[in-house]
Structure 1
Amino acid sequence: MSISAGTYTRDELQRIIKAYDVRGVVGEDITVPFVRDLGEAYGELLRHEGETNLSIGYDMRPSSPELAQAFAEGAAARGLNVDIIGLASTDELYYAAGSRNSAGAMFTASHNPAKYNGIKLCRAGATPVGQESGLREIINYLVEGLDDLDVEPGNITSSDILSDYAQHLRELVDLQNIRPLVVAVDAANGMAGLTVPEVFRGLPIELKPLYFELDGTFPNHEANPLDPKNLVDLQKFTPEVGADIGLAFDGDADRCFVVDEKGQPVSPSAITGLVAKRYLATNPGAKIIHNLITSRAVPEIISENGGTAIRTRVGHSFIKATMAETGATFGGEHSAHYYFADFYNADSGIIAALHVLAALGEGTQQLSQLMAEYTRYAASGEINSTVADQCAATQAVLDAFADRIAEVDELDGVTVSLKGTPAWFNLRASNTEPLLRLNVEAPTKTEVDHLVEEILGIIRN
């Protein structure tokens, strides 16, 4: 029986089907019947577009296999042939969608706590699906219902593409001739525990694993490396085991955070600068994308190496769309998402890590020495404040800084450049919560701390 009109309301769906993906609490928002219906709605969308194939992957959360099967049944009911690739990282699912030219669905809630699950959708070739590119139509199908379809149901099969995916990544970044490296990796009980050993296979790398057991209850710490408390174990572990570098992944392994041989965090902006320089060495004059909260060192490095820096809003859908529109070679975000034209314009934490390992292994410097070139300013990181009226709070900050403002940019929130200094700050309202997000950069940590204190004092009072 297909979806009946009135089964779902638009309000309840918009709480679960967000701007870029589907996400909610398992058993409350995310249930097997709902996911089956969602699969049928996505199958109908794809069928109208002439698509016939769908690849499905899932992470290590306890609910993921059952939900993936339900989604597959829904999509197959609309005539799609579905292949379930099983346990996978999100970028492995993108590899499936890109290499097979099939649509994709990845069951993961990324770095969210264990009670959550969700779905990241893409079209053939790993093209992302967001509110403006399919999710709104899916909501319409669920609200308005679907008629029974007189078509032969599609087949549901399963396959294992892990070794093919790993081989593809090794072909993208050549590490065969680097010096031997000791690499500490905190998989946070997420999918990197499965993918990293396969990707590193045969390379001159001695892997020092931390929390590689797949466990979607996250018994050791949350799988969110951007939160400093979740880096503490890797920061201690890396120098303890004599590693040259430490890598921390989120739950679905599409983000990677780096610490140096001393256990000190390396800014994702610095990683963006390093990878950009590597691409510009082999692609002279290439376009490189960075979002507006990356360090100003990033466009400086791109320009110094003959590239064209393109600035975008925060968010993977903006980065991917801009890459497709401009033909950019690489893109980086300060959230440790990195995007690659030679990987279907999709993001991959492990590809970024491979580039850092290649740069480190091609020379004799320690990572802390290597990264000094790319770390030019101090930054606050993103600081959230709960604010009932984000617009009023933002305006209060602008008023207080009126005589110090050199320029205000409204590409995404407000980015304020200050007179007589390279210092700047950005204030952005959350689309889904009553939060105002602050990022500050300045030449020194002292300057950053003073600006943060002043701005938060205005916002929170």
Structure 2
Amino acid sequence: MSIDLTQIIKAYDVRGTVPDQLSPRVARAIGAAFARVVVLPAAHAGRPGNDGTPGVVVGHDMRESGPDLVAAFAEGLTAAGADVVRIGLCSTDGLYHASGVLDLPGAMFTASHNPAEYNGIKLCKAGAAPVGQETGLAEVRELAQSYLDGGLPESAAEPGTVTDRDMLADYAAFLRGLVDLSGIRPLKVVVDAGNGMGGHTVPAVLGTGAGLPELPLEIVPLYFELDGSFPNHEANPLEPKNLLDLQAAVVANQADIGLAFDGDADRCFVVDEKGAPVSPSAITALVGLREVEKEKAEGRDSIVIHNLITSRAVPDFLTAAGATTVRTRVGHSYIKAQMAEHTAVFGGEHSAHYYFRDFFFADTGMLAAMHVLAALGTQEHPLSALGEMYEPYVASGEINSRVADVPAARARVYEAYVTQEGAGSVEVDELDGLTVSHWDGHPQWWFNLRASNTEPLLRLNVEAADADMMEKVRDDVLALVRADDPEQGA
């Protein structure tokens, strides 16, 4: 019985349970389709691999299902005539690095922060360019579905080959070349890898595991053992409960900073010396300003991308520093496209994805962490003081509401804030969901209400100039959203 690939191939990537949704058979079909939709056409257009033939670089995280799925995926690729460069265990940004420096399309087998029974595939074009619903993923899904339903086509006259290559040391050296940490003051850093790929990459980049010079960092490791069953906590630092161990360890060790990586280590969350989380919006402003100042020193103007649920502080600080800011939809494929279109120096999302022009316009939690360490280590103030500078407003965080009728709930909010308030008193846009802003007047507030792509959920983000106003707007909007189910909690 064939699986319906629309259930696991969504807007940005492949994600499903193993083996009932994502099996070696399915991986083989997706590999064959990826070869024909992305890899072979790119080679024919003049972007072959380094040896003159079409190629793909493939890596995987620590999940037990990874090696078997990679082997099957490689079979689909080589049968189509594409060579495969397997780089083994890596973080997602490690795969992007390999795709960038080798100038090859790539495939990363990971389910990021999802539970152990999941796995998935993040696909990219040569140079780490994103493959999403509108840039080839829909065609890959349709062709792979036809292979599952009707059988794989005959192998190419000259099947591809598979070679193995270790890229970890190259990845570490590349990042070290982008941020110089050698001259910072000594810092004690607690790192929670969550049994994910941070346990593989942190010793190489911030330690001496890749043979690089020692840095003035004392790393206190938490859960560095690679274990795709996640025995200690979910590898999803976006959930506050998954930061508790890191927060306690920072205080207990009297550390200067805490870093938490998700399962595939492409996102990084930051905790200050008091154990308090530092908002990803504050990190976006801090890192963005570092990149803008670097460009200014070279005599260049800067463009910085941010998604629409980051704090208003982000464009405030960056425009004051002379940068141009571009607001975009939530989601990595959108922000990566905007990064490339505008040749932006930096981009940030409130989900703690950080994107860098100098890293192939791709996201890397490790490089963002290095910038924070550099900012902290080149001055004497504690991280709490730095973070406070970049968080002048009060945010609600993202609040999910499960509703029976999403359009009706949204309509109630629109009626209350747009129709009744009057178009002249608020600014409204529908770039991604409904954003209502009263920022130019007094009191200052804004909110965004977005529907989930996969569940009957509405996601609310609110920000205001003070806590009382944030709580009022939050509670008023939630009351409208949850009018049919007022008992559900925040």
After TM superposition, the score normalised by the length of structure 2 is 0.90
Instruction: Give me the whole-angstrom Cα distance separating, in 1, the residues matched to 2:474 and 2:60.
Output: 39
Instruction: Give me the whole-angstrom Cα distance separating, in 1, the residues matched to 2:145 and 2:317.
Output: 49
1:459 aligned to 467, 470, 481, which one? 481
Q: Which moved more, 1:223-232 or 1:413-422?
A: 413-422
Does the alignment pair 1:380 with 2:396?
yes
* Offset, 1:445: 2.5
1:294 aligned to 310, 326, 340, which one? 310
* Offset, 1:8: 4.7
- Aligned residue identity for 1:47: L
Matches within 5 A, 1:119-130: 119-130=121-132
**Counterpart in the other structure of 1:403:** 421
Three-state SS of the structure 2 residue aligned to 1:118 is strand
Q: Deviations over 1:150-198 (max 9, x none)?
A: 4211111111111110010000111111111110000000000010011
Instruction: Give me the whole-angstrom Cα distance separating, in 2, the residues matched to 1:377 and 1:26.
Output: 43
Q: Deviations over 1:185-225 (max 9, x none)?
A: 00000000010011012211100001111110111111111
Matches within 5 A, 1:44-443: 44-45=36-37, 46-50=39-43, 51=48, 52-145=54-147, 146-201=152-207, 202-284=214-296, 285-401=301-417, 402-403=420-421, 405-418=425-438, 419-443=441-465
Aligned residues: 453
Q: Considering only aligned residues, what root-mean-square deviation do their CA atoms show, in Å?
A: 1.3
- Aligned residue identity for 2:5: L
**Counterpart in the other structure of 2:488:** none
Does the alignment pair 1:37 with 2:34?
no
* Offset, 1:421: 2.3
* Offset, 1:120: 0.1
Instruction: Give me the whole-angstrom Cα distance separating, in 1, the residues matched to 2:248 and 2:475.
Output: 29
Instruction: Give me the whole-angstrom Cα distance separating, in 2, the residues matched to 1:109 and 1:399.
Output: 39
In the alignment, is the contact (CA less than 8 A) between 1:18 and 1:131 conserved in 2? yes
Three-state SS of the structure 1 residue aligned to 2:111 is coil
Instruction: Give me the whole-angstrom Cα distance separating, in 2, the residues matched to 1:221 and 1:452.
Output: 30
In the alignment, is the contact (CA less than 8 A) between 2:101 and 2:127 conserved in 1? yes
In the alignment, is the contact (CA less than 8 A) between 1:425 and 1:441 conserved in 2? yes
* Offset, 1:24: 0.5
Instruction: Give me the whole-angstrom Cα distance separating, in 2, the residues matched to 1:194 and 1:324.
Output: 29
Q: Which moved more, 1:372-381 or 1:356-365?
A: 372-381
| Distance 1:104-1:150 versus aligned 2 partners, 3 A rule | closer
Instruction: Give me the whole-angstrom Cα distance separating, in 2, the residues matched to 1:227 and 1:254.
Output: 16
**Counterpart in the other structure of 2:210:** none
Instruction: Give me the whole-angstrom Cα distance separating, in 2, the residues matched to 1:150 and 1:108.
Output: 28
In the alignment, is the contact (CA less than 8 A) between 1:182 and 1:206 conserved in 2? yes
- Aligned residue identity for 1:42: F
Q: Deviations over 1:305-358 (max 9, x none)?
A: 110011001011111101111111000000000000000000000100000000
* Offset, 1:121: 0.3
Three-state SS of the structure 2 residue aligned to 1:147 is coil
Instruction: Give me the whole-angstrom Cα distance separating, in 2, the residues matched to 1:150 and 1:71.
Output: 16
Three-state SS of the structure 2 residue aligned to 1:49 is helix
* Offset, 1:149: 3.8
Instruction: Give me the whole-angstrom Cα distance separating, in 1, the residues matched to 2:155 and 2:77.
Output: 12
* Offset, 1:383: 0.9
Instruction: Give me the whole-angstrom Cα distance separating, in 2, the residues matched to 1:47 and 1:257.
Output: 38
- Aligned residue identity for 1:444: D
- Aligned residue identity for 2:41: H
Q: Which moved more, 1:228-237 or 1:403-412?
A: 403-412
- Aligned residue identity for 1:421: P
Q: Which moved more, 1:36-45 or 1:171-180?
A: 36-45
Three-state SS of the structure 1 residue aligned to 2:305 is strand
**Counterpart in the other structure of 2:487:** none
Q: Which moved more, 1:336-345 or 1:403-412?
A: 403-412
In the alignment, is the contact (CA less than 8 A) between 2:445 and 2:462 conserved in 1? yes
Three-state SS of the structure 1 residue aligned to 2:426 is strand
In the alignment, is the contact (CA less than 8 A) between 2:81 and 2:156 conserved in 1? no
Three-state SS of the structure 2 residue aligned to 1:231 is helix
Three-state SS of the structure 2 residue aligned to 1:166 is helix
Q: Deviations over 1:8-63 (max 9, x none)?
A: 57xx1111111000000111111111111111111122113325111111011111
Q: Deviations over 1:36-91 (max 9, x none)?
A: 11111111221133251111110111111111111111111111110111110000
Three-state SS of the structure 1 residue aligned to 2:408 is helix
Instruction: Give me the whole-angstrom Cα distance separating, in 1, the residues matched to 2:5 and 2:26.
Output: 10
In the alignment, is the contact (CA less than 8 A) between 2:32 and 2:144 conserved in 1? no
Three-state SS of the structure 2 residue aligned to 1:381 is coil
Instruction: Give me the whole-angstrom Cα distance separating, in 1, the residues matched to 2:155 and 2:246.
Output: 52
- Structure 2 residue ranges without an equivalent (≥5): 49-53, 208-213, 484-490
In the alignment, is the contact (CA less than 8 A) between 1:274 and 1:374 conserved in 2? yes
In the alignment, is the contact (CA less than 8 A) between 2:406 and 2:458 conserved in 1? yes
Q: Deviations over 1:224-278 (max 9, x none)?
A: 1111111111111101111100001100000000000000000000000001110
Q: Deviations over 1:360-417 (max 9, x none)?
A: 0011111011222211111111111112322221110122233275111111111111
In the alignment, is the contact (CA less than 8 A) between 1:441 and 1:448 conserved in 2? yes
In the alignment, is the contact (CA less than 8 A) between 2:443 and 2:469 conserved in 1? no
- Structure 1 residue ranges without an equivalent (≥5): 1-6
In the alignment, is the contact (CA less than 8 A) between 1:8 and 1:142 conserved in 2? no
**Counterpart in the other structure of 1:448:** 470
In the alignment, is the contact (CA less than 8 A) between 2:79 and 2:156 conserved in 1? no
* Offset, 1:105: 0.4
Q: Which moved more, 1:387-396 or 1:70-79?
A: 387-396
- Aligned residue identity for 1:403: E
